[in-house]
Amino acid sequence: MKSQNYNRIIKTLKTKGFKKIELDPVLESKFILQRSGENFRKYLFSFYNSDAQELTLIPDLSISSILRYAQSKKNSKEKVFYTGSAFRKSYNKNKVVIRQLGLEIFSSQNEKKDDKEIIDTSITILKKAGIKSAKVKIGNFKLFELLIQKLSIPERWKKRLIKFYWNSNYFSELLKRLEGNLDIDSFVVAGDHKTYLKMKKENPNKLIAGRSYKEILDRYEKKINDPRVTKTGKQSCKIIKEFLKIKCSLKNAPKILNKFYKKYNLNISVGKEFFPITNFKQKNFKFEFSTDNGGREIEYYSSFIFSIDIKIKNKQKTFISGGRFNDLTSKNLGLRKIPAVGCAINLGVYE
């Protein structure tokens, strides 16, 4: 990005009340692995310090930013921005150093207002950078959660689909299993039930692989009392797949979504409260809605999510992306809950 455009972006953020913060270049690996799992370790540049703590170069600037706020023990609303590099090992042609500029609002209480501020600021940044046309894609993870909760499938499967929504490959595998029950082996089921009857006679506090017999028995009983049914599983998968194909203009999104929910008698009503944008008259800006949330690449968003694509040398590239991540600190990092919304600007988009 040209330096003059970069300076315009910084000036815009300061004018809108965002203050610049500095981020540590490293953080404890546990904060990343708690969120993404051990499989993510292969992408980290990690090492141990003299106190035997495992540290890693920052692979995600948002994680470092919200950790800084959480550890400060602040509760008041704060608007910040930062610049820096994220580091991830790459096994293809992608760069291992990603230059980013991020902006975030912490302890965000008026969600709709703050979501709108992030979108409005992003559009202002585009214009200040001399970008005259763009595609703004909006999604909302809550719509997917509402859909899943209305389906006739076991509760444990509802939780599983919501949890692994962001893992596209595994999510597809879950749908296949739910649709046909092909992973259920009658001989294995019979053997499990035989083991269950034996364990019922044992001391419920006895441990096996770190879990008590009572925990194992309770989980098994939930399965047999709320089993998967091929007919309802197949219908639920049909509904989910159709839902994830919905794509339309943002203006028409409530109408099209409500028509879909009515078609399957799901008793869900969607209004404008799900969308932070009310002004669709931005010249040369196309506003789209997608239930697939822009490719489902970032796993910590809890509701509103967006991306802005621009055309460079006849190719569409994502220039800005972000959303709301209220549950990141509590569910993924083991810290107090901090309502937050923000986005990242890809400074290397022209490279």
Q: Which of 216-220, 262-266, 327-331, 345-349 has the lowest mean pLDDT?
A: 216-220
Residue range 56-65: average pLDDT?
86
CA angle 196, 201, 205 (to 5 degrees): 90
Domain spans in the chain, listed from the N-terminal domain onward: 3-146+240-346, 154-239
Q: Is the pTM of this model over 0.85?
A: no
Q: How many residues comprise the chain?
A: 351
pLDDT single digits (tens) 29-48: 887 776 665 666 777 888 89
Alpha carbon of residue 128 to chain centroid: 28
Exposed / middle / buried, residue 39 (Cβ in 10 Å: 0-12, 13-18, 19+): exposed
Q: How many C-beta neighbours within 10 Å does residue 72 have?
A: 10
Residue range 307-334: average pLDDT?
84
Tokens matching residue 298: 């970032």
8 Å CB contact between 274 and 140: yes
Which pLDDT belongs to residue 223? Answer: 66
d(CA 186, CA 193): 11
pLDDT single digits (tens) 152-207: 888 888 998 998 888 788 898 899 888 875 555 455 556 666 776 777 777 888 88
Cβ neighbours of residue 126 under 8 Å, at least 6 residues apart? Answer: 134, 308, 310, 319, 320
Percent pLDDT > 90 in the chain is 31
Residue with tokens 């991830």: 88
Exposed / middle / buried, residue 166 (Cβ in 10 Å: 0-12, 13-18, 19+): middle
Alpha carbon of residue 8 to chain centroid: 29
| Residue (of 320, 319, 300, 303) closest to 311 by Cα position | 319
8 Å CB contact between 107 and 78: yes
CATH topology for 3-146+240-346 is BirA Bifunctional Protein; domain 2 (3.30.930)
Which pLDDT belongs to residue 13? Answer: 94
Tell me the backbone φ, ψ of residue 27, rounded to 5 degrees.
-150, 165
Residue range 301-325: average pLDDT?
88
